[in-house]
């Protein structure tokens, strides 16, 4: 999965547009992009979309409202029967939040007659100041946990900041910390890390730079807020032929010297971590979903 496009859950029109966007996944949003008096309508629209919007290879996620809002149970009651691929949990406060959501999902899967554990969880791990201190607690929180991602908009509000980016559009220190904690937390939990949204949706060059920095650092995908962002994200997160060939050459070098802990290719040293990375990259090309 390379690109995940947010679509407000109360907009039939945008949900339709999302289907044509080329995104690998749509995140049907019941949270921040839906006003409080539209929540019920959005739940009904989201359910009908889950039932009718299935397309080969397209993952459908639903972002529910946070556990402390009192809205999560109604969100889940409405949309679990539509069997989303995963629930995105905003304002997650560590592994305990994921375990909590896991239990809620298990009960509803049973009621709906769905297989236990079929619905995954993607946690938004950095939206509050307190959550930054819990990013290392996701390991073993639930077998449903598929990925961590991070948010800078709610975090900047919680921190009382004036802005989260500098005059060149780069994230400021508190958000770079959140980004790094998400990456480390995901890796420690053995799940993927997904980069946050780029809100300046007419700035393709800025988006591309942010995607490249994310891929470089270990993120495997990025969220989008506008269909026009999808092509850039897919492009950057699709491994290039050069990267694939390089990965093959690392694996071949280790296979040629069984038992070697380190090999030299073209005057550069490669050891076990490089082999792990090469295998991970090739695994991605085999399983684009
Ligand atoms: N998903 C699907 N379609 C979208 C879309 C999205 N996220 N964002 C825009 N579109 C559609 C628009 O409806 C419009 O359709 P039209 O040509 O038939 O009128 C077309 O793409 C072009 O949109 P544009 O005019 O460039 O933008 P806009 O001013 O209509 O919308 C936003 C701007 C930010 C309101 C919109 O992109 C959006 O709703 N994004 C998602 C917000 C969200 O989910 N936030 C929560 C996570 S941070
Ligand atoms: Mg938010």
Residue nearest to atom 42 of ligand 1 (CA): 225
| Helices and strands per DSSP (H, E), number in the chain | 10, 10
Q: Are residues 216 and 196 in the same domain?
A: yes
Q: Which two tokens stand for residue 280?
A: 């991970």
Q: Are residues 233 and 251 in the same domain?
A: no
Is residue 98 domain-resident?
Answer: yes
Atom of ligand 1 nearest to the CA of 31: 46
Residue 204 is predicted with a pLDDT of 97
Number of domains in the chain: 2
206 near 198, Cβ under 8 Å?
Answer: yes
DSSP assignment letter at 165? B
For residue 245, give its domain range. Answer: 241-284
| pLDDT one-digit tens code per residue, 102-113 | 999 999 999 999
Atom of ligand 1 nearest to the CA of 21: 2
pLDDT at 285 over 90: no
CATH number at residue 136: 3.20.20.60
Residue 289 is predicted with a pLDDT of 44
Q: Are residues 216 and 248 in the same domain?
A: no
Residue 288 is predicted with a pLDDT of 44
Q: Are residues 34 and 95 in the same domain?
A: yes
CA 239 / ligand 2 centre spacing (Å): 30
Best substitution site from 5, 6, 10, 14 to test ligand 1's pocket, by max atoms within 8 Å of Cβ?
A: 14
Q: Which two tokens stand for residue 247?
A: 């990965």
| pLDDT one-digit tens code per residue, 198-209 | 999 999 999 999
Pairwise CA distance, residues 119 & 144, whole Å = 7
- Arithmetic mean of pLDDT, 133-149: 98
Q: Are residues 8 and 129 in the same domain?
A: yes
E strand map for the chain = 3-8, 25-29, 59-63, 86-89, 120-124, 145-149, 192-195, 221-224, 262-265, 268-271
Is residue 289 domain-resident?
Answer: no
Q: Which two tokens stand for residue 88?
A: 């995105």
Q: Are residues 9 and 132 in the same domain?
A: yes
Terminal-residue alpha carbon distance, the chain: 5
Q: Are residues 182 and 57 in the same domain?
A: yes
Q: Are residues 225 and 249 in the same domain?
A: no
Would you place residue 277 in the very low, low, confident or very high pLDDT band (cuts 50, 70, 90)?
A: confident
Burial class, 269, CB count within 10 angstroms (exposed 0-12 / middle 13-18 / buried 19+): exposed
Is residue 210 domain-resident?
Answer: yes
| pLDDT one-digit tens code per residue, 212-262 | 999 999 999 999 999 999 999 999 999 989 989 999 999 999 999 988 999
The ligand placed nearest to the CA atom of residue 30 is: 1
Residue 287 is predicted with a pLDDT of 52
**How many Cβ atoms are within 10 Å of 242's Cβ, its own excluded?**
8
Q: Which two tokens stand for residue 51?
A: 């039932």
């Amino acid at each position: 999965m390379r690109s995940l496009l947010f679509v407000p859950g109360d907009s039939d029109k945008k949900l339709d547009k999302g289907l044509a966007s080329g995104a690998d996944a749509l995140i049907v949003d019941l949270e921040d992009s839906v006003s409080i008096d539209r929540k019920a309508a959005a739940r009904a629209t989201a359910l009908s979309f889950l039932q009718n919007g299935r397309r080969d290879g397209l993952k459908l996620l639903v972002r529910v409202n946070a556990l402390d809002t009192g809205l999560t149970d109604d969100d889940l009651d409405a949309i679990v029967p539509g069997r989303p691929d995963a629930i995105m949990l905003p304002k997650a406060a560590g592994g305990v939040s994921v375990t909590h959501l896991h239990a809620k999902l298990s009960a509803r899967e049973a009621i709906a007659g769905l297989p236990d554990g079929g619905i995954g969880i993607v946690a938004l791990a950095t939206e509050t100041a307190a959550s930054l201190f819990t990013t290392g607690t996701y390991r073993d929180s639930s077998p449903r946990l598929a990925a961590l991602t991070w948010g800078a908009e709610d975090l900047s509000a919680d921190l009382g900041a004036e802005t989260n980016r500098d005059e060149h559009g780069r994230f400021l220190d508190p958000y770079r910390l959140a980004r790094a904690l998400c990456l480390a937390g995901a890796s420690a939990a053995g799940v993927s890390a997904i980069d946050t949204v780029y809100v300046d949706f007419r700035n393709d060059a800025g988006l591309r730079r942010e995607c490249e920095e994310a891929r470089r650092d270990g993120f495997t995908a990025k969220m989008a807020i506008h269909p026009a962002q999808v092509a850039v994200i897919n492009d950057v997160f699709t491994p290039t032929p050069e990267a694939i060939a390089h990965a093959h050459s690392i694996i071949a070098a280790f296979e040629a010297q069984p038992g070697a802990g380190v090999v030299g290719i073209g005057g550069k040293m490669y050891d076990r971590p490089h082999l792990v990375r090469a295998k991970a990259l090739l695994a991605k090309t085999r399983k684009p979903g």
